[in-house]
Chain A
């Protein structure tokens, strides 16, 4: 049961881009968990397990249809990528999943609550049956015997099942806070204690059944609450994984490999192609292209030459670089980002959940009422036993059964409905915050676009063939996009000889005796931006690249607009690329070239102007904005840190299900408010009766059960109306 505590091995640079995968404890075979957002039927179970059984490294696999995931067992160090490929070949969308968010069912705490719930339920049923005999008129010795048997069942049951409440009440009292658990614990202990006393005195009223049903209903609330709350790991801890632990330092004696911590300002490090830049610095020698998408959101790789600045976390793509370090550790741009995210998260944690706000008002009121009833009856007839009885009846009847269920029942129902549509709600208070959203801010790269490049206009004539031949000679992302686009258009590569790659600039080759070049405008002698092709005669031909819109992006933006939401786009990418996507989607407010700090500042400015902002983003550069916004969403394929900071993760690659998120959140909030009204209504009738001394154990039992069940049924209406989208 300790699988959730296994360490992350996301320290390798490549793992950071793919969502983190956790390996099992060393002496056991590794267990990987893949999310399967699309599975829905018996055939899928067989299909997935058969597809995985065909792989040599897989020792076993088990699909869990309720959680839409599959556990795969294999040797240690088993990589998730081949599994995902095999499943995608078989037609199932799969992605390695963050375990902490998904396996709330398997945790020991949830199971312990379930055991307490079962004990409370068993005891409640038996005591309730015995109580029926008392209510229907058992007297004298028979009544006493039934009370004694009830006491024998209720005392151990309440002592065992009520422990979560006693513990929480004690913690609250130690911190000098009157939490909801204080009146609960007080009611439980007093009710059972007084009932034992009454039984010993052959009294008429015993509240054993009430104490047990109170425990039972409140444990249901607690269990639901536990299930909705997913373990949120710190975004800052994940960010640190982006750093490279070992670096290659160049000294006068040659190269040596040292720990990142040993790096000092002024050192020279070598970064090979495919490696991550370890610290902020300046390029000494070498030319290359850097992938900055994760840090800045730029869709095109940026070229660097000697004298150019590089930042920790960027990926070196084409040529080896020697970098003189200008900042290490806490001074790097990456670390400033961690600090910023921490600050943004603290700001959001000030949000108080509706249930807590209700409890803050409710708990003192209950105590004051019960005490007032006790004092009034003491003054009126001076009978301590009667006054205590009334006070306890008040405590039991006002006890927040329905109030405690009001929020968790609704969030469980809403989270279940969203899960069937491919969204994972990670935070317990997320739905309440989502209900208030009036502004949606999107990131561009990787969120509205899928991060891949596509060739815009295919050039005509011989130029296309030359471009294809040159593009095929390189692994640079731009070259690959060009080659794919040209091949798709049916272009045949021309006969280009002596192709050579010049990192940071482009490609060069010889075609029909002429020197042809493909690459940056400076390399091909053109004006403007983006890749160009030069045939050695006349002007260079531009090869416009555009980003591809993600599935469902257009539908989502239209749906949000139809819901009357203000839509904005903020991106770190170049202005023309941003403007193009904004035009395609009809977004009026689109800001380009923003740094991660600018994004946070923009969100802050919007919120200070009174807007409730939903941030949708996937990159490291969005993480601060995700944490600062009222609520946040990130796609499952986003950076680990972004997914951790987000409240909701979309499991499918399409954005379309997101349009239902806000509607569901709003109806969930409506149900919560209805539930508060229902439980307040019951109390409005029951409290005067209890204070006036008319309450009987039978009345307490009826009031408690009906109000709790009404609240549960009201919450379930959310499930019933759920359309199942995207599953088939």
Chain B
């Protein structure tokens, strides 16, 4: 059972990383246009970093 000493913190850290990644993507406006982004990735001439005044 001593393995729990490593496994439980490891699982919590991995889960925490997932949470942090989600919160980062949320703040980076990545869920604003799910439908449009799905198409944009297929477009040849789409600008990956559009000039956009960040409010």
Binding site for B on A (CB under 8 A): 1-3, 24, 28-29, 31, 41-42, 45-46, 59-60, 62-67, 73, 105-106, 111, 114-115, 118-119, 122, 125-126, 129-130, 142, 145, 149, 153
B15→A122 contact, CB < 8 A:
yes
Instruction: Tell me which residues across on chain B come within 8 A of A142, comparing CB atoms.
Output: 1
| Interface pair B19/A3, CB less than 8 Å apart | no
Report yes or no: A118 in contact with B12, Cβ–Cβ below 8 A: no
Mark contacts of B21-55 with chain A using CB atoms, 8 A cut-off: 1 yes-contact digit, 0 otherwise. Answer: 01100110000111110011011011000111101
Closest 4 CB pairs of A and B: A65-B36, A42-B39, A66-B35, A64-B33
Instruction: Give A59 to B51 CA distance when docked, in angstroms.
Output: 8
Which of B11, B42, B51 is the one whose CB lies under 8 Å from A129? B11
Given contacts A65-B36, A130-B8, A149-B8, 20 further A-B contacts (CB under 8 A): A1-B55, A3-B55, A24-B55, A28-B53, A31-B55, A46-B45, A46-B46, A63-B36, A64-B32, A64-B33, A65-B39, A66-B33, A66-B35, A73-B52, A106-B32, A111-B27, A115-B26, A118-B22, A122-B18, A145-B4
* Complex alpha-carbon distance, A648 and B42, angstroms: 35
With a cutoff of 8 Å between Cβ atoms, the chain B residues found around residue A67 in the complex are 33
- A126's contact among B15, B34, B40, B53, by CB below 8 Å, is which? B15
Give the distance in Å from the alpha carbon of A149 to the alpha carbon of B42 in the complex. 45
A-B contact pairs, 13 of them (CB 8 A): A28-B53, A29-B53, A45-B39, A46-B46, A62-B52, A63-B36, A66-B33, A66-B35, A119-B19, A126-B15, A129-B11, A130-B8, A145-B4
Contacts of A28 in B (CB 8 A): 53, 55
Question: Which of chain B's residues have a CB closer than 8 A to the CB of A60?
Answer: 50-53
Report whether A118 and B50 are in contact in the complex, using a CB–CB cutoff of 8 Å.
no
The smallest beta-carbon distance between A196 and chain B, in angstroms, is: 19
- C-alpha spacing A66/B35, complex, angstroms: 5
Instruction: Say which residue of B11, B26, B35, B42 sits within 8 Å of A111 (CB atoms).
Output: B26
Query: Which A residues touch B53, using CB under 8 A?
Result: 28-29, 31, 60, 73
Question: Shortest Cβ distance from A45 into chain B, in angstroms?
Answer: 6
Question: In the bound complex, do residue B8 and residue A45 qualify as a contact, i.e. CB atoms below 8 Å apart?
Answer: no
Please tell me if the beta carbons of B33 and A115 are within 8 angstroms of each other in the complex.
no
Residues on the B chain within 8 Å of A105, using CB: 32
Distance in angstroms from B46 CB to nearest chain A CB is 8
B4, B35, B40, most chain A CB atoms within 10 A = B35
A3 to chain B: closest residue by CB: B55
Chain A positions within 8 Å of B22 at CB level: 118
A142 to B35 Cα, complex, angstroms: 47
Are A114 and B26 CB-contacts (below 8 A) given A46-B43, A64-B32? yes
- The residues of B with any CB-CB pair to A shorter than 8 Å are 1, 4, 8, 11-12, 15-16, 18-19, 22-23, 26-27, 32-36, 39-40, 42-43, 45-46, 50-53, 55
Cβ of B55 and Cβ of A115 under 8 Å apart? no
How far apart sit A118 and B25, CA to CA, in the bound complex (Å)?
A: 12
B26 and A64 within 8 A (CB): no
**What's the Cα separation between A66 and B51 when bound, in Å?**
20
A118 to B17, CA, bound (A): 12
* Bound-state Cα–Cα, A153 to B16, Å: 11
Minimum C-beta distance from A656 to chain B (A): 23
CB closest chain-B residue, reference A142: B1
Contacts of B12 in A (CB 8 A): 126, 153
- Beta-carbon contact of A122 and B26 below 8 Å: no
**Chain A residues within 8 Å of B34, by CB:** 66
Q: Which residue on B lies nearest to A67, using beta carbons?
A: B33
A717 to chain B, nearest CB (A): 21
Residue of A nearest to B39 (CB): A42
Once the chains are docked, how many angstroms separate the CA of A114 from the CA of B24?
12
Q: Which of B16, B19, B36, B46 has the most CB of A within 10 A?
A: B36
> Which residues from chain A contact B36 at a C-beta distance below 8 Å?
45, 63-66
Q: Which residue of B lies closest to A103 (CB)?
A: B32
Contact of B23 among A1, A65, A115 (CB under 8 A): A115
Q: Shortest distance in angstroms between B15's beta carbon and chain A's nearest beta carbon?
A: 5
Residues of A within 8 A of B46 (CB): 45-46
Q: Are B43 and A42 in contact (CB under 8 A)?
A: yes
A381 to B47, CA, bound (A): 72
Once the chains are docked, how many angstroms separate the CA of A41 from the CA of B36?
A: 8
Instruction: Note all chain A residues with C-beta closer than 8 A to B19.
Output: 118-119, 122
Q: How far is the CA of A64 from the CA of B46 in the complex (A)?
A: 14
Complex: chain A residue closest to B40, CB-CB: A45
A177 to B38: give the CA distance in the assembly, Å: 46
How many Å lie between the Cα of A65 and that of B51 in the bound state? 18
A66–B50 Cα gap in the complex (Å)? 18
* Chain A hits for B1, CB < 8 A: 142
Residues of B within 8 A of A46 (CB): 43, 45-46
Contact partners of B55 in chain A: CB under 8 A: 1-3, 24, 28, 31
Chain B residues, Cβ within 8 Å of A119: 19
Contact call A118/B35, Cβ cutoff below 8 A: no
CB-based contact A41/B26 at 8 Å: no
How far apart are the CA atoms of A3 and B53 in the complex, in Å?
A: 12
Point out the residues of chain B lying under 8 angstroms from A122, CB to CB.
Answer: 15-16, 18-19
- In the bound complex, residues from chain B placing their C-beta under 8 Å from that of A66 are 32-36
Residue of B nearest to A152 (CB): B12
CA distance A266 to B19 in the complex (A): 69
Give min CB distance, B6 to chain A, whole Å.
Answer: 14
Give the complex CA separation of A125 and B15 in angstroms: 9
Docked complex Cα distance between A149 and B15 (Å): 14
CB distance from B49 to the nearest CB of A (A): 11
A65/B43 in contact, CB under 8 A: no
Known: A126-B11, A126-B12, A129-B11. A118 touches B33 (CB 8 A): no
Asked if residues A118 and B40 are in contact (CB atoms below 8 Å), the reply is no
Smallest beta-carbon distance A150→chain B, Å: 11
